[in-house]
Amino acid sequence: MKTKYWLIKSEPEVFSIEDLSKSKNKTTYWDGVRNYQARNYMRDEMKIGDKVIFYHSNTEPPAAVGICEVIKEAYPDFTAFEPNDPHFDPKSKKNSPTWFMVDIKLIYKFERFISLSEMKKNKKLQKMKLLQRGNRLSVIPITKVEFEEIVKLGR
DNA sequence: GCCAACGTTGGC
DNA sequence: GCCAACGTTGGC
């Protein structure tokens, strides 16, 4: 199975890479994806061993902050079933869930965060969907070249 | 099936 | 805090 590469967004106020670093086994379930396209990527294409850039959105500055690995493939996002959860979705049923999550484990946090503006200036990263206008997806496929370029900058 | 209204995302 | 760009909802 060929390794795929992804970029996932999180608002650090909600869940930051420091939070992940402090989590048990540096592992978390990636809950709360409520967009069909992002869900399809997670549910249908994310496989164990895939590599993931962790990105901080809606903060100053927005930046790539570390790398993770997929350690569990898609299973139902149980937060959609819990009425008190901010991600509750009454349309998602336990016997036919709408929403899915994967588990990711931190590989390491970057020594140097790579800001969005730095990525915009980088020739090798120009085609990333992250940089395209109006992009709002929280799970974005990237290429191996893009992944390795960001890792090189952030190491 | 169209599309206006509304809600959310996320850079700035 | 603003607002452009989207996605979703629901009346018709």
CATH number at residue A111: 3.10.590.10
Beta strands in A57-146 (DSSP E): 63-76, 100-115, 139-142
Q: How many CB atoms lie within 10 A of CB A49?
A: 12
Q: Domain residues for A55?
A: 5-154
User: Which CA-bearing residue is nearest the C1' of C4?
Assistant: A134
d(C-alpha A46, C-alpha A99), whole Å: 14
What pLDDT shows up at residue A91? 85
Q: What is the spatial distance, in angstroms and rounded to an integer, between the CA atom of A140 and the C1' atom of C6?
A: 16
Query: Which residues neighbour A22 within 8 Å (Cβ) at sequence distance 6 or greater?
Result: none
- The secondary structure of residue A60, as a DSSP letter, is S
Mean pLDDT, to the nearest integer, of A71-99?
A: 90
Share of chain A above pLDDT 90, in %: 85
Q: Could you read off the pLDDT of A8-37 as tens digits, one per residue?
A: 999 999 999 999 999 999 999 999 999 999
pLDDT digits (tens, 9 = 90+) for A49-83: 999 999 999 999 999 999 999 999 999 999 999 88
**Chain B nucleotides reached by a protein CB under 7 Å:** 8-12
Number of compact structural domains in chain A:
1
CA of A60 to C1' of B12 (A): 10
Mean predicted lDDT score pLDDT of chain A: 94
Task: Report the pLDDT value the prediction gives residue A92, as an integer from 0 to 100.
Answer: 87
Give residue A113's pLDDT: 96
Distance A37 CA to B3 C1' (A): 22
Percent of chain A with pLDDT over 70: 100
pLDDT band per the 50, 70, 90 thresholds, residue A4:
very high
Task: Indicate yes or no: pTM above 0.75.
Answer: yes
Q: Which nucleotides of C are covered by protein (CB under 7 A)?
A: 5-9
Helix boundaries (H) for chain A: 17-22, 36-40, 116-121, 144-154
